[in-house]
Amino acid sequence: MTDDPILTTRQGHPVPNNQDQRTVGSRGPATLENYHFLEKISHFDRERIPERVVHARGFVAYGEFEATGKIGDEPASTYTRARLFQEPGKTTELAVRFSTVIGGRDSTEVARDPRGFAVKFYTEDGNWDLVGNNLPVFFIRDALKFPDVIHSLKPDPITFRQEPNRIFDFMSQSPESMHMLTHLFSPRGIPATYRHMEGFGVNTYKMVNNQGETVLVKYHWLPRQGVASLTEGEAANVQAQELGSASKDLYEAIERGDFPQWDLYVQLMEDHAHPELEWDPLDDTKIWPEDDFPLRHVGTMTLNRNIQDFHNENEQIAMGTGVLVDGLDFSDDKMLVGRTFSYSDTQRYRVGPNYLQLPVNFPQGVNGKVHTHQRGGPMSYHTDIAPGQNSHVNYEPSMHNGLQEAPRKPHNPPQVSGQVQQSTIERTNDYVQARGRYSTIEDWERDELVTVMGTLLSDCEPDVQQRMVWHFFMVHDDYGKRVGEQLGLSAADVAHLKPLAAQDFTDAENQRLKSLG
Ligand code: HEM
């Protein structure tokens, strides 16, 4: 006998034999009333939950956020009343999940793919999830197109292979994707590790101060470890050795006490439509140039603790854009609204309707102050009754010692008027920032971008090739010329193509369109 703990069933019964089924004689047949065997095998049969429909492969680590108490040079309270930002040195516990997007749960972590950068802050006012990516923009600007863009990037429904022709068929008809593609197919599209990548909220949010005044905000995480990316060749070498290279790197760094850190910055803008800009502040295919909208430091995140169980803490963690605290708010960004529905919807299916009772999702920061009238549902294991609350009263309002509404706080809600319609925003300008990006990346990054694009497009149908080269010419002559050369296409070969419906152009782009060919 050793002092090791005794194996039991989930009913608490000791298990004297975990090697042999119960049988008639030593060779069988087996009997079916052996509770331990039934519990063990039927639990095993249910070990998996559905993997995330996107971002299936990922890895969680824990840490803390330390606030500067400021937003840039000003007190944080100038812009937000969110308590986690107010005092210098104030710390908030958090969990981060880094991920790839398209591959399944066991896929490679050096795929060319955006990386998820999702942070759950367990604040004293409840959870705040900041669900971002490593690239600052996205493929589309309207949530209605999300299932389409993801279907084009996911494996073909028959061959189950990721097919460039399907990806670029969709992208060629979605010119708003050109900026994102120019990021994704440059080396930034394959981060070397999770520790060496930036994070961006991508969508536009709001901050609200004590007077109820709002500003538009974008979030940025900058890694103190620096940014490092891989070329296609380097990624192929890593993948040949190890599929989970990024999770391994993060786990091992934390185990050896080499705690990665990111600084959180925000960009702010007055809360209105900004007609003076050539793009819309609510368009997630655009960045806000840092010269005009400087980065303002608000705090630092340190990851210092690994998970204990992959399933409980990585598979069951559930984050979403709807999870905001007082002092932070949504904007009317048409992607953000769709995302906010989608996350908790999928989590009720993927994890179950009581997913918020699980420790990794529970708002630990509020010190037990979760009080709702929600009851029942599969796997409910506690009620949210407040101490002293009348347990018969699971409704509100009531005169008999039930829960009360929280005090209302000032908020200047936006004035909204207009005709209900289905239409694209006015200032689409799909090429202007892709052009800026193409012009400012380093020569080796541009070489890699052009080569990767040319190689993938050479697998595509001629109509897809032509339309993509047409877009590249609209972004930058050099881009169109160099990718076109790899496909045997010149400007003259694509000049007959007409602009797509709903495209609008700057004056410079109209000139470029005329001069094509
Ligand atoms: C995960 C939907 C756009 C970042 C997910 C999941 C869904 C989803 C259904 C799976 C969640 C789960 O099972 O827990 C959408 C929709 C979008 C959208 C409908 C557009 C309308 C974006 C954008 C970003 C993003 C623009 C980046 C800013 C993430 C991240 C995760 C995720 C990081 C993984 C969260 C985790 O690690 O658990 N998304 N998404 N998504 N999404 Fe989105």
Q: What is the mean pLDDT of residues 380-391?
A: 88
**Cα-to-centroid distance, 258 and ligand 1 (Å):** 29
> Active-site residue 306, yes or no?
no
Gap from CA of 55 to ligand 1 centroid (Å): 7
- Stated as kind and residue range, the H or E segment containing 168 is helix 164-172
Given pLDDT bands bounded at 50, 70 and 90, which one contains residue 412?
confident
Ligand 1 midpoint to CA 417 (Å): 30
DSSP E strands in 124-241: the ranges are 126-133, 199-200, 205-208, 214-223
pTM: 0.95
| Residue 511 confidence (pLDDT) | 83
> Best of 53, 148, 333, 339 to mutate for ligand 1, by most ligand atoms within 8 A of CB?
339
Given 133, 134, 203, 361, the catalytic residue: 133
Higher pLDDT, 265 or 34: 265
Q: Is the pLDDT of residue 319 over 80?
A: yes
Q: Tell me which of 98 and 5 has the higher pLDDT.
A: 98
Q: What is the mean pLDDT of residues 97-105?
A: 98
Measure 235 CA to ligand 1 centroid, in angstroms.
24
For the CA of 53, the closest atom of ligand 1 is: 10
- Whether 306 and 112 have beta carbons less than 8 Å apart is answered as no
Q: State which amino acid sits at residue 16.
A: P
Top-confidence residue, 4 or 19: 19
Q: How far apart are CA 319 and CA 307, in angstroms?
A: 17
343 known ligand binder: yes
Cα atoms in the Cβ-side hemisphere of radius 13 Å centred on 470 = 22
- Protein residues with CB under 6 Å of any ligand 1 atom: 52-55, 58, 97, 99, 116, 118, 131-133, 138, 143, 146, 202, 317-319, 335, 338-339, 342-343, 346-347, 350
CA-based nearest residue to 84, from 327, 263, 412: 327
Question: Each residue of 154-200: pLDDT tens digit?
Answer: 999 999 999 999 999 999 999 999 999 999 999 999 999 999 999 99
- The per-residue pLDDT for range 142-153, each reduced to its tens digit, is 999 999 999 999
The mean per-residue pLDDT over the stretch 317-340 comes to 96
Q: Tens of pLDDT along 467-515?
A: 999 999 999 999 999 999 999 999 999 999 999 877 778 887 888 888 8
Average pLDDT, the chain: 95
The ipTM is 0.97
pLDDT of residue 517 exceeding 70: no
Q: Residue 1 above 80 pLDDT?
A: no
Ligand 1: nearest atom to the Cα of 97: 37
Specify whether 133 is catalytic.
Answer: yes
